[in-house]
Structure 1
Amino acid sequence: MSFTGKVAIVTGAATAKALAREGAKVVLLDINEDNLQDVANDREHGYKPLIITADVTKDEDIKNILKETLDNFNHLDILMNNAGIGKKSTIFDENLMDNFDHVIMNTNLCSMVYLTHLAAPYLIKTKGNIVNTSSICSLRTIEGKDLLGYSVSKAGVDHFTRCVALDLAPHGVSVNAVNPGPTKTNIIKNREAWIRCTAFKILSEPEEIAGLILFLASDKARSVTGSTYVCDNGALLT
Structure 2
Amino acid sequence: MTERLEKNVRKVVLITGSSSGIGAAAAIQFATLGYRMSLFAMNVPVDEAGLADTKDRCLKANPELTSDDILTMTGDLTVEKDCHLYIEKTFETFKRIDVLVANAGIVSSSRLENLKMEDFDKVMNINCRVVVLMNKLVIPYLAETKGNIVNVSSVAGLRACNDMIAYCMSKAAVAQLTRCAASELASKGIRVNAVCPGLIDSTRIFQNAGFSTEFHDLMIERVKSSHPLGRAGTPEEVAKSIAFLASEEQASFMTGVTLPIDGGRCVSS
What TM-score does the superposition give when structure 1 sets the normalisation length?
A: 0.94
Partner Cα distance (2:53, 2:180) in 1 = 36
Partner Cα distance (1:216, 1:40) in 2 = 22
Partner Cα distance (2:11, 2:56) in 1 = 21
- Please state how far the C-alpha of 1:2 moved relative to its aligned partner: 2.4
Q: Would the aligned equivalents of 1:2 and 1:22 in 2 still touch at CA under 8 Å?
A: yes
Q: Would the aligned equivalents of 2:194 and 2:258 in 1 still touch at CA under 8 Å?
A: yes
Report percent identity of matched pairs: 37
Which residue in the other structure is 1:206 paired with?
Answer: 235
Partner Cα distance (1:207, 1:175) in 2 = 21
Residue type of the partner of 2:144? K
Partner deviation per Cα, 1:42-78 (whole Å, 9 max, x = no partner) = 3421364210112111111111111110110011000
What TM-score does the superposition give when structure 2 sets the normalisation length?
A: 0.83
Q: Would the aligned equivalents of 2:127 and 2:171 in 1 still touch at CA under 8 Å?
A: yes
Residue type of the partner of 1:44? K
Structure 1 gap segments, 5+ residues each: none
- Which SS does the other structure have where 2:114 is aligned? coil
Which residue in the other structure is 1:112 paired with?
Answer: 131
The alignment yields a C-alpha RMSD, in angstroms, of 1.4
How many residues align structurally?
234
Residue type of the partner of 1:66? I
Match of 2:173 among 156, 162, 171: 156
- Which SS does the other structure have where 1:196 is aligned? helix
Q: Would the aligned equivalents of 1:135 and 1:179 in 2 still touch at CA under 8 Å?
A: yes
- Please state how far the C-alpha of 1:126 moved relative to its aligned partner: 0.4
Partner Cα distance (1:54, 1:178) in 2 = 24
- Which SS does the other structure have where 1:41 is aligned? helix
Partner Cα distance (1:15, 1:224) in 2 = 19
- Which SS does the other structure have where 2:230 is aligned? coil
Question: Within the alignment, does 1:5 sit opposite 2:24 as a pair?
Answer: no
Partner Cα distance (1:172, 1:71) in 2 = 23
